[in-house]
Amino acid sequence: MKGSVPPAKVEGMAILVTGATGYIGAVVCEKLRARGQEVLGLARSPEAAAKLEAAGIKPLSGSLAEPETVAAAAAQSSGVIHTAMSWGADAPALDRGLVQAALGALAGSGKPFLYTSGVWVMGDTKGRLAGEMFPLKPAALVAWRPPVERLVLDATEQKVRGVVIRPAMVYGRKGGMIAGWLSGKMPVVGDGSNHWSFVHVDDLADLYVLALERAPAGSLYVAADGPAFPVKQLAEAAGIKELTPIEQALQTLGPMADALILDQRIGSTRAGRELGWKPSRPTVLDLIRRGYFEE
């Protein structure tokens, strides 16, 4: 339920971004900088810090395992965008610890906290088009995420403007799962009959900026654009003929294999209605056909 903390244009101090050198976070930072916003990016290594500085972003030395560092910076920021993610066994504890620390630091301020979830929490949609109200049945890999989403959505009680964004499969800028296929780093799992929904990383970053500026407290947005494609169709367009049986994939990928065979048709008009979000990039199939790494 949306709370009473009103949206407001973010001005003044820096926006703190976790995952600032990551696939999504780097593009979000780029969009913020293009709007004249000062950005503070969490950097877990000297190399990451140097990369941020080269992009005009002030680095904050720290990691997800140092929530106190993030909290101290959050208290001095204009708001927080959390895009960082650990895929290790400690991911649930790290993520929850950071979210709790940052929300605590922002308590009473009315400032925004944007949390990155994902459509895997929605589970298999069984041929239905699923939006924000779709009942959750998360894949085992992300079963811990809905309670963290709830912390953010309920942060209005702390006078924090909490917002959750659930991206579909992210593509574009030569990254994402499709890039993993084409580089041989990720297999195509299952028989390919399942569907995936997508969002271009630039369109997704545009949504983060709009949500930062305009989204009411307690808002949840599904980020997907265009049709859901059968995985086999995408693999064939990419010239990939070998599909990996789920039993084999489980041995190497573990619970991620089960997430990759979810059949998901995701769509929503909420972000467009409430925030004016208008995705405009080519579909993932268009990019694959024109040469994904040549975009």
The pLDDT of residue 44: 94
pLDDT in tens, 10-68: 555 899 999 999 999 999 999 999 999 999 999 999 999 999 999 999 999 999 999 99
pLDDT in tens, 214-226: 999 999 999 999 9
The pLDDT of residue 2: 52
9 has pLDDT over 80: no
Beta bridge pairs of residue 79: 15
The pLDDT of residue 8: 45
pLDDT bin (cut points 50, 70, 90) of residue 5 is very low
The pLDDT of residue 294: 85
- 169-172 and 198-200 beta bridge pairing: parallel
The whole-number average pLDDT for the span 71-90 is 96
- pTM for the model stands at 0.95
Q: How much of the chain exceeds pLDDT 70, in percent?
A: 96
Beta bridge pairs of residue 17: 41, 81
7 has pLDDT over 60: no
- Give the list of residues 6+ apart from residue 200 with CB closer than 8 angstroms, or none: 170, 171, 172, 225, 279, 281, 282, 284
d(CA 213, CA 71): 21
pLDDT bin (cut points 50, 70, 90) of residue 133 is very high
